Amino acid sequence: MVRTLKNAVSAGQVAHAYLFSGERGIGKTSAARILARAVNCLKPQAGEPCNVCENCLTILANRTLDIIEIDGASNRGIDHIRQLREEVSFVPSDLRMKVYIIDEVHMLTNEAFNALLKTLEEPPSHSMFVFATTEAHKVPRTILSRCQVFDFRRIDAAAIALHLQKVAESLELDITRDATQLIAQRANGGMRDALVMLEQVASYAGEQISADTVLDMLGLADTAVHEAFLETVQQGDQATLVALIDELVDRGKDLEVFLSDVVNLLRARLRIPSAHSREEIRLSQGLLEIKADMFRSLDRRIRFEIGVLALMESLQTQRSEPKERAAGGRSEPKGSADRGKPQSPTPSSVQSPTAPPVRRKVRVALPVSERRRSGAESAPSPMGGSWISMLMLFAVFGAIFYFMLIRPQRKRQTKMNELIAGLKRGDLVVTAGGIYGEVDSIGDNTAVLILEDGAKLKMAKASIVQKREK
């Protein structure tokens, strides 16, 4: 992205409209301001502004009227865009190009976007638009197709830590490398959040800032606490786990942030395959479910404790199941030793030669046609009864719909037609809007009414809803 913009400025082929999209606090508006200085710089250096020429100093001092920054959230109506369209045709007063920077452009209304289309399609040669948004999917495609779109990525934590170190040196703050790295990790790729946290830490600790100071101010726990928590859960020590949670709460730590840090620690472990990877995956899934439930829970501490204890119990159960299967596979089931031996006939199975023969009932299977004729089996109906019940249900709903909606509407329409057909001059009528008047003349589809103040009003005959007696 930076290379593209530098080459465009160096070659003098800057587009008339750009759209910068990405997360909050990653430099979209700052990049738009730098681009505005670059296109107006008198001595650009490799596509970047020199910051020493007259135009650059004027822009940096905010003394020009040709760099217009607009907040799309508060100036989102069509009237603001109409005013912009009127002003964009005027040439710049003291710079080369007039640059419009519209922040949070996705907040504009559809009417405002439509009013902006023509200007973006055929802009004046002396003007340029730079849009910034955190939700590019809300910008209409008709706008996107007229802009060069650049997606900003999150800033690397190492780059944020390096910049924080430079800012701290300029402010004469003594901050450790661990503290800057911790702030950079908590910023989650946003430079603005990192600078805000640095300012907050400086107000909290003064000129000496360490990693422990950052942890106390942000309500975070040390990595050793995360390791101890995971070890306690994996060992199944409930008493130690409850004591650890009590200590976190007493020290004012945010349990949701603590869970996020533990999951990130597990994620770092899973990058290296090990024998415990499967268990760590199940543990990560369980902790993420607990975190999602805590967001909707009224008592987050209780939900955290119960959820972690239940997760611990499930891990212990999953560990014991393979051992039980192995122990059950080694034990020989009862009667397996006699399975291969021939079975001798029992006395009850041997018939005595003097005993009378045993009569056994033999059941002969008849053909299907014979069973149906004999009544033993009834022939299945070619059509089930379900379609009959569905038909009856549709008939009932149809009747209800007709008698409750269609029939009353037809009656009202018939009554209105009779009313309109019987209108004559001099009748006192009331319209659907509550206007009361006397019929003066009647046309094919219209009627002229004389109102109470003597004024005449021409209206459609279908708007007359009631006729009154004089």
Output the DSSP codes for 96-158: S-EEEEEESGGGS-HHHHHHHHHHHHS--TTEEEEEEES-GGGS-HHHHTTSEEEEPPPPPHH
Map residue 467 onto helix, strand or coil.
strand
Determine the pLDDT at residue 385.
Answer: 56
Give buried/exposed letters for 402-424 (b at 16+ CB in 10 A, else e): eeeeeeeeeeeeeeeeebbeeee
Do residues 16 and 127 share a domain?
Answer: yes
Q: Give the domain extent around 237.
A: 223-324
Structure tokens at 395: 């008939």
Sequence-distant (≥ 6) Cβ neighbours of residue 372 within 8 angstroms: 378, 379
Structure tokens at 329: 């596979």
Q: Which residue, of 296, 324, 352, is where some domain finishes?
A: 324
Determine the pLDDT at residue 366.
Answer: 45
Do residues 165 and 26 share a domain?
Answer: no
Q: Which residue, of 275, 292, 324, is where some domain finishes?
A: 324
Residue 356 lies in a domain: no
Spell out the alpha helix ranges (H) of 207-299: 211-218, 223-235, 238-250, 255-270, 277-296
Q: What is the mean pLDDT of each run of 10 residues along the chain (470 residues)?
A: 87 89 90 92 88 91 90 85 87 90 90 87 88 91 91 90 90 87 88 90 83 84 87 88 88 86 88 82 88 84 88 83 62 46 45 48 46 46 64 84 83 78 77 77 79 76 72
Do residues 139 and 10 share a domain?
Answer: yes
CA distance linking residue 219 with residue 107, whole number of Å: 34
CA distance linking residue 387 with residue 394, whole number of Å: 10
What is the pairing mode between strands 464-468 and 428-431? Answer: antiparallel
Do residues 83 and 174 share a domain?
Answer: no
Determine the pLDDT at residue 470.
Answer: 64
Give the residue from 53, 73, 75 showing the smallest Cα distance to 64.
53
Do residues 144 and 8 share a domain?
Answer: yes
Other CB atoms closer than 10 Å to residue 254's CB: what's the count?
Answer: 15
- For residue 142, the domain's CATH number is 3.40.50.300
Do residues 166 and 145 share a domain?
Answer: no
Residue 381 lies in a domain: no
Do residues 97 and 202 share a domain?
Answer: no
Do residues 116 and 164 share a domain?
Answer: no
Determine the pLDDT at residue 21.
Answer: 92
Residue 379 lies in a domain: no
Report the number of distinct structural domains present in the chain: 4
Residue 360 lies in a domain: no
Residue 385 lies in a domain: no
CA distance linking residue 296 with residue 82, whole number of Å: 45
- For residue 169, the domain's CATH number is 1.10.8.60
- The tens digit of pLDDT for each residue in 243-288 reads 998 888 888 888 888 888 888 888 888 888 877 788 888 888 888 8
Do residues 213 and 264 share a domain?
Answer: no
Residue 383 lies in a domain: no
Determine the pLDDT at residue 368.
Answer: 46
Do residues 195 and 275 share a domain?
Answer: no
Do residues 49 and 80 share a domain?
Answer: yes
Residue 339 lies in a domain: no
Give the residue from 447, 453, 455 showing the smallest Cα distance to 425.
447
Determine the pLDDT at residue 2.
Answer: 85
- For residue 235, the domain's CATH number is 1.20.272.10
Determine the pLDDT at residue 19.
Answer: 93
At residue 158, what is the residue type?
Answer: A
Determine the pLDDT at residue 34.
Answer: 92
Answer whether 167's CB lies under 8 Å from 194's CB: no
The size of the chain, in residues, is 470
Residue 100 lies in a domain: yes
Do residues 179 and 83 share a domain?
Answer: no
Sequence-distant (≥ 6) Cβ neighbours of residue 368 within 8 angstroms: 377
Q: Which residue, of 200, 218, 236, is where some domain finishes?
A: 218
Query: Chain centroid to CA 406: how far?
Result: 43
Per 3-state DSSP, the chain is made up of helix, strand and coil in percentages (nearest 5) of 55, 15, 35
Map residue 299 onto helix, strand or coil.
coil
